[in-house]
Amino acid sequence: MADAPGRKATAASSVRDLPDRGRVLCHGFIESVTYMPASQVAAFVAIVIDHDVPAPPSRFLAAGAKGAPAAASSLPAAPVSNERVRPGAQRQRPAGPKERLRVVWLGRRRIPGVDAGTELRLEGMVTIRDGLPTIFNPRYEILSRQEEQ
């Protein structure tokens, strides 16, 4: 279904405020990028986060390091689901706030200027794929960074 002519999103929303489906205009920072090997179909994938989201704790902290868990037994066990998922079925996003947005450019192996730490404004259709909000082939604008003065 085509969009109504002249109808555009006006204000860029944060990743946290994105709907599960629909046309969006959002703003965030590239957290990481994934380059597909030459043996796979060309796709460039980036993970976008809000600028105010704190960095997740490292999974690789040593047991005695500052901020590391005291013992592995003190960590809560992750719930295990026995529910089977049909192949090709869309997986539902877990309840709770959305912290990341996956952006996929199909047919591209690299996009100049889109690297970790880059600030972007994105416009496109958002959907949930594998539990993450995802936008395929969005319009994007690389927002300038002021150089250190």
Mean pLDDT along residues 62-75: 47
Tell me the per-residue pLDDT of 87-142, one tens digit each, with 9 for 90 and over: 555 555 444 457 899 999 999 999 999 999 999 999 999 999 999 999 999 999 99
Q: Residues near 82 by Cβ (< 8 Å), separated by ≥ 6?
A: none
Q: What is the pTM of this model?
A: 0.64
pLDDT at 12: 83
d(CA 133, CA 102): 6
pLDDT at 95: 45
Residue type, 40: Q
The more confident residue out of 58 and 84 is: 84
d(CA 115, CA 120): 10
Kindly state the tokens that stand for 46. Answer: 């980036």
d(CA 129, CA 34): 16
